[in-house]
Amino acid sequence: MPATPAFDVEALRAEFPSLARIGPDDRPVVFLDGPGGTQVPQRVIDAVTAYFQHTNANAGGAFVTSELSDAVTDEAHAAVADLLGAGSPDEIKFGYNMSTLTLHIGRSIGATLGPGDEIVVTTLDHEANVSTWEAMAADRGVTVRKVDIREDDVTLDIEDLESKLNPRTKLVAVGYASNAVGTINPVAEIVARAHEVGALSYVDAVAYAPHGPIDVRAIDTDFLVCSAYKWFGPHLGALYGKADVLDRLPAFKVRPAHDRFETGTAAFESIAGTLAATDYLRDVGRRFGAPTSPRDRRAELVAGMTAIVDYEQGLVGRLIAGLRAMPGVTIHGITDPARAAERVPTVSVSLDGLHPRAAAERLGRAGIFVWDGDFYATGLIERLGKAEHGGVLRLGLVHYNTAAEVDRTLEALESLIRS
C-alpha cells in the first residue's frame, strides 16, 4: 500500500491569498477567527468570479448561460451530498445560512406539532439551534426541554438528555460540536435515542464540518445543517434532510417554486464557490489523505477531512499543552490529550484579571485575530458564569494554521498575562 504523504500545511496555505496579509508588526497575520468564518482558497474566489463572467443567469432558461448555471447548481448539490454522505443530491437544500434554513425548516416541522408535544434542545448549542426551536415551540404551544452540560469538562450531560426524552418528544436538536468550547457530541448515539422515542433529529454541524468527515447515513440523522463559509467556502448554508422525512413535511413555498424547500432565486455565485470549496477539500484528500479509488469524490472528501483531523489534533494538542502550562489561564472544555477525539480545535479560555475584549484587542494589535464574547452560544456562556465578564476568548484553529502560529499565540498570551 502506498504511504500517506505528510500534511504539507505550507503548500495548502499558498492557496489562500488572504493568509498573506501582513499585520501591524510586519509579520503575517495569524487567523484564529476560523470558527466565525474561515478564509477561502483562490479557487473559490475564481469560481465566484467565473460564475459572473460566464454563467450568470437565472435557473431553468432555454439558453446557454442558464443551462450552465443549472449545471453548476446541480453539481454543487451533488458535491455537498458527497461531503455529508447523503444518498442523493435532492436531499441537499441550499439557503442563506444555517440560521435561516433552520427557521424555515422549523416552520415546517412546527406545522406538524402542537400542545402536548415536546422538543429537546441543549445548553451547549449555538442559539441558532436553540432559540429558533424555542420560537417555533412558542408559536405552536410545544414544550421545550433543555439538556444541561457537565460543568467540569463542558460536555453534554447524556443522563440529563435521557431524562428529557419520552414518547411526547418530537424533535431533538443537538450540535455536532460546540462552536464555543469545541466539544464533539456523540451524535449517532443521540440520534438513535431520539429515534427510539419516535422523535426527529436535527444536528447542527456548523462548528464540526471544517474539522472532520460527516456521514449522515451512518449517524442516521433526519436533518443536518452546516455553513460553507465555515469550511473554506462562501457565505451559504446547506441543509441535509432525509428524503422521506422532507417528502412528508409540509413546505412553505411560493406556488411555482422549483423545489419545496429552496425558496426564491438562489445565491448562484455562492453555490459555485461552494462547489469549489468541496473541490479544495477533495484535493486535500488526493494530496494528503489515505489513498482512495480515483474519481470517487466521497472517498476523496473523507480522506481529506481525515487528514485534516490528524493534522489538527497535533496542533490543538500543542496549543492546549502550552495554555495548561501558563498560570492565570482557565481552559473551558476538554483538555486531556487522551480525549483529543472528543473535541475540535476550538479552544476558549478565560485569563485572570483580563477582560476577553481587552485581550482580543491586544492580540489583534499584535496581528493575532481571535474572537471574544459568547459567539451566540449565549446559554452556554451564561451557564459557565461568563456572561457578565464579557464571555470568553476563543482561539479557533483550522487546518491552515501552523505550529509556529500556535507558538506565537502562546508567547503573545504569556506577555499579555505578565503585563
User: Which positions touch ligand PLP (CB under 6 A)?
Assistant: 97-99, 126, 128-129, 175, 179, 204, 206-207, 227, 237
Smallest distance, ligand PLP to C-beta of residue 95, A: 9
Q: How far apart are CA 192 and CA 170, in angstroms?
A: 13
Q: Of 99 and 348, which CB lies nearer to ligand PLP in the complex structure? A: 99
Residues contacting 197, CB < 8 A, separation 6+: 165, 166, 167, 169
Burial of 137 (C-beta count, 10 Å sphere; 0-12/13-18/19+): buried
Please report how close the Cβ of residue 347 comes to ligand PLP at its closest, in angstroms. 15
User: Strand, helix or coil at 252?
Assistant: coil
What DSSP element (H or E) covers 12? helix 9-13
CB of 98 to ligand PLP, least distance (A): 3
Residue closer to ligand PLP, measured from CB, 69 or 274: 274
Closest approach of ligand PLP to the CB of residue 184, in Å: 12
What distance in Å separates the CA atoms of residue 18 and residue 33, rounded to the nearest whole number?
13
Q: Which is nearer to ligand PLP, 109 or 412 (CB)?
A: 109
CB 364 within 8 A of CB 416: no
Question: Would you mind telling me the total number of residues written for the chain in this entry?
Answer: 419
8 A C-beta contact, residue 114 and residue 121: no
* Sequence-ordered strand ranges (E) for 123-163: 143-147, 149-150, 155-156
User: Residue 45 Cβ, how far from ligand PLP at the closest point, in Å?
Assistant: 20
Dist CA 180 CA 228 (whole Å): 18
Pick between residue 184 and residue 354 the one whose CB is nearest to ligand PLP: 184
Write down the least CB distance from residue 179 to ligand PLP, Å.
3
Q: Which is nearer to ligand PLP, 98 or 406 (CB)?
A: 98
CA distance linking residue 330 with residue 149, whole number of Å: 18
For residues 195 and 361, what is the distance between their CA atoms, to the nearest angstrom? Answer: 46
Closer Cβ to ligand PLP, 97 or 183, answer by number: 97
